[in-house]
Amino acid sequence: MNEVRRSERIRERILVTDDDPVSCELFAEVLESEGYQVDRVLSGEDALQQLHRETYALLLVDVRLPGISGLEVTREVRTTHPDLPIVVMTAFGSMEIAIEAIREGAFDYTSKPMNLEELKHTVSRALAQRSATELGQQAGGDGEDMAPLGAIIGRSPAMVDVYKTVARAAATKSTVLILGESGTGKELMARALHQHSPRSHRAFVAVDCGAMAESLLESELFGHMRGAFTGAFTEKRGVFEEADTGTCFLDEIGDITPNMQAKLLRVLQENEIRRVGGQKWIKVDVRIIAATNKDLVEKVKQGTFRQDLFYRINVVTIHLPALRQRTEDIPALAYHFLRRYSQEHGKPVVGISEDAMTLLRIYTWPGNIRELENTIERAVALSNQAMLTPEDLPVEVRDRSTPRVNPDKPSEAWKGFDDLPTLEEVKKRYILHVLDSTQGNISRAAEILDIDRRSLYRMLERYHVAPVRHS
């Protein structure tokens, strides 16, 4: 059966575009081993010329190219070859790039270093969708320019998956449920969905459902009529009316009472509300984004959360990883907060020492990004030098013996030997650690490892990891 599939692929031709010849060759070899015909080019200009000369089933293109960028190539190809699936890859994973790539018409977006098995799977999915499209299924696209988000930071694989979900869900009307621990940035992600949606020019209204008593929350959401209760001296529009044609973010939705759950369900089903003390139903057009750090599936089983409401809000789900699950993003986040609070407090703090950064990376961050931000702000405010050192950090961060969040399960923030890896796995982790510390500089990493560049590339290929090239 596999041989039949490979023989079918011989007719499928792929164009790989990457300005790093070694990476380009590696991607080509991997795809050729799957039975595809692969051509390689090293620039965006060459890619466009090659697409005019030959017919391809798929384009794989890097974002960072000399001259015409990968996103510019994507935009041009969408015009000249609207049915050609495009997979964009980059070593600079971000919300902006993910959203722009998909809005420009890319089928998918991947971040380096790339798992080569995932690359094969992505290519297979893209070609399968192309075949389905040729059979009559239509794919939509939208090239509307959107403002950049700069506040959402991270290029870890977990965050790249989040970016892709946001990019696809933003343009729809679907209700979105954001799940994640406290402090992971759920409201920030909700604002990203709104900002990149057709409703971006309308209101975004956020409500913390867990911070209010039921009567106060009902008035806040639905509004009230004059005289509806003691102290109601005037009419008041509720959040749903304020957010009409816009977006309403309901934070900590897992904390609302059964009575409020029933009223919210009607909003989602009938698109109408009634003010407290009112008789008239009012039509509203509101996109609802909900968030919680609770296990709603378990609450449904326990009978404390309505199953029908759960299905209504759980149309699109975004899982935000805890900071300890994306430790590779800690340096970028730390420097983001360092720049913000150095400017805000008028302090000439410009860097973080290697020892201090090591402590930031191995701490488990039970308070997630919110705790990291607080830690950096405190350190900047109290520091009297240009470089943050371990002495500037709180004692709980400095103390390496701080208990893990779950002492029975080693934290993913520690990439050492708690899980008793094999010797081969230890070698792989160390090579990736060295690459990360050199910002993807292959020559420098090979020098530290005391091996030649080609040996390093062969190791990366054996580990199914694509090299990252920062330029």
List the domain boundaries for the chain.
2-134, 172-321, 324-398, 423-462
Do residues 384 and 345 lie in contact, with contact meaning Cβ atoms separated by under 8 Å?
A: no
The model's confidence at residue 89, banded by pLDDT at 50, 70 and 90, is confident
Strands 282-283 and 272-273, bridge-based pairing: antiparallel
| CATH class of this structure's domain 2-134 | alpha beta
How confident is residue 92, by pLDDT bands cut at 50, 70 and 90?
low
Q: How far apart are CA 295 and CA 310, in angstroms?
A: 11
pLDDT digits 0-9 by tens, 255-292? 999 999 999 999 999 999 999 888 899 999 999 999 99
Quickly tell me which residue has 């190791």 as its tokens: 459
End-to-end CA distance of the chain: 43
**What separation in angstroms does the CA of 394 have from each of 124, 291, 363, 369?**
49, 30, 11, 15
The full 3-state SS of 33-88, as one line of letters, equals HCCCEEEEECCHHHHHHHHHHCCCCEEEEECCCCCCCHHHHHHHHHHHCCCCCEEE
Nearest to 106 by CA among 148, 59, 147, 41: 59
Evaluate if residue 93 carries a pLDDT over 70.
Answer: no
Query: Do 2-134 and 172-321 have matching folds?
Result: yes
Question: Which of 34-38, 67-71, 90-94, 249-253 bottoms out in mean pLDDT, i.e. has the lowest?
Answer: 90-94
Helix, strand, coil percentages for the chain (3-state, nearest 5): 50, 15, 40
**Residues 369-410 pLDDT 10s:** 999 999 999 999 998 888 899 999 999 888 753 433 343 343
Beta bridge partners of 178: 291, 318
Report the pLDDT value the prediction gives residue 294, as an integer from 0 to 100. Answer: 93
Q: What is the pLDDT of residue 115?
A: 74
How far from chain centre, in Å, is Cα 250? 20
pLDDT of residue 400: 53
**Residues 246/204, Cβ–Cβ less than 8 Å:** yes
- The count of other CB atoms within 10 Å of the CB of residue 211 is 11
**Quick one: three-class SS letters along 131-183?**
HHHHCCCCCCCCCCCCCCCCCCCCCCHHHHHHHHHHHHHCCCCCCEEEECCCC
CATH assignment of 423-462? 1.10.10.60
Pick from 358, 353, 328, 354: nearest CA to 432: 328
Pick 9 or 93 by higher pLDDT. 93
Mean pLDDT of 43-50: 94
pLDDT at position 47: 94
Residues in the chain: 471
pLDDT of the residue at 130? 66
Task: Give 206: exposed, middle or buried? Use CB within 10 Å, 0-12, 13-18, 19+.
Answer: middle
Average of per-residue pLDDT across 212-224: 88
58 backbone dihedrals φ, ψ, rounded to 5°: -165, 145
Residue 326, strand partner residues:
none
The closest alpha carbon to 247, from 303, 299, 219, 207, belongs to 207
* DSSP-derived secondary structure letter, 350: -
Mean pLDDT of 355-372: 90
Q: Chain-wide mean pLDDT for the chain? A: 82
Model confidence pLDDT, tens digit, residues 116-171: 887 888 888 788 766 555 543 332 333 333 333 335 777 777 888 888 888 889 88
Distance CA 432, CA 426 (A): 10
Read off the tokens for 39: 């051509």
**C-beta of residue 183 within 8 angstroms of C-beta of residue 228:** no
CATH number of the domain located at residue range(s) 172-321 in this protein: 3.40.50.300
Residue range 211-221: average pLDDT?
88
Q: Is residue 248 pLDDT above 90, yes or no?
A: yes
Confirm or reject CATH 2.70.180.20 for domain 324-398, answering yes or no. Answer: no
- 455 vs 245, more confident: 245
What's the rounded mean pLDDT across residues 30-58?
92
